[in-house]
Chain A
Amino acid sequence: MRDKDKSKDRTKTDEIQLRDPYIACWLAWLVPGLGHLYQGRKAKALVYAVCILGLFFFGAALSSGKCGLARCVYVAMRNSPGADRDMRYYYLAQVWVGVPAFPALIQYFHDPDGEDPLWNGLMAPPLKVTPGRPIYSENDNSIDNIRKKLNRRFEVGTLMTAMAGLLNLFAIFDALYGPVNEEQEEQERQRRLEEKRLRRKAKRRKGDDFAEV
């Protein structure tokens, strides 16, 4: 039954026409599912859009509150030692979601210190806390206060948005090369194993010949 399913699936895979893979790849990065929609693969576009965008927006909603919107998605490059060390490596994963993660870049270039964020603090970097400037209250949006207000929702939101970005890499490669043909991969693996086995056998035979001489 499984073999029958596999052959059915392979036949459908072989028939796929990947229209302009490079354009589709860019579109797939910009908006998850858009590249597949461009290629006419509507069902898969829906699966990618629902899963990836759903996960991203759910994570972003979890990290929203009085402190602003989607506070777990932001760019910060503060590597100064001391109280305000905040390097945001998670954004390297989140950015693969494409356009939905762009407001974080705009906010960073608008005001990297987070003192005057746009759009009600949507994806804005936390307020930079400078030692010796006691102007900050319990209600400011420094990273400590954001974490205190959002509690574990900040971490869960970060994980979800970062995973959504990484999952979109699958969609991007799918738009570029099409789905992985598992059976072909298995055949290739078997062929390589067989070649390796033959080489080892030939080597052993050569060694035996030397021993006889």
Chain B
Amino acid sequence: MTLFAFWRIFDCLYAIPLILATGMVYSASRHEDIHDVLRRGLRLSGWIFGFMLMVLVVMMILF
């Protein structure tokens, strides 16, 4: 069961382009300088990824 759950984690890789695009586009709508866009976009993507990972861990523990 645990192995199966671990295998399903690879499905979450689909989230990476989605998170990166969301972070970058949101950041681009807030800043004009490309360096700010990239830096803050990556930071926001990191936050989203961390938050989702936290929720995933909590759900794996609960269920």
A residues at B contact (CB < 8 Å): 5, 8-9, 12-13, 16, 41, 43-44, 47-48, 51-52, 54-55, 58, 62, 152, 156, 159-160, 163-164, 167, 170-171, 173-174, 178-180, 182
B residues at A contact (CB < 8 Å): 11, 14, 17-18, 20-22, 24-26, 28-34, 36-38, 41
Complex Cα distance, B15 from A159, in Å, reads 10
Residues of B within 8 A of A51 (CB): 20-21, 24-25, 28
Asked if A164 meets B28 with Cβ closer than 8 Å, knowing A152-B11, A156-B14, the reply is: no
From B18, B24, B33, A160 is in contact (CB under 8 Å) with B18
Question: Is B26 in contact with A47, judged by CB distance below 8 angstroms?
Answer: no
How would you classify the secondary structure of chain B's contact residues: helix, strand, loop or mixed?
helix
Shortest CB distance B27–A (Å): 9
Question: Is B25 in contact with A47, judged by CB distance below 8 angstroms?
Answer: yes
Complex Cα distance, B11 from A52, in Å, reads 21
Interface-central residue, B11, B25, B30, by most chain A CB under 10 Å:
B25
Complex Cα distance, B34 from A152, in Å, reads 35
Question: Is A171 in contact with B25, judged by CB distance below 8 angstroms?
Answer: yes
From A43, A55, A173, B29 is in contact (CB under 8 Å) with A173
Complex Cα distance, B26 from A54, in Å, reads 15
Residues of A within 8 A of B36 (CB): 5, 9
Question: Is A163 in contact with B33, judged by CB distance below 8 angstroms?
Answer: no
Residues of B within 8 A of A48 (CB): 25, 28
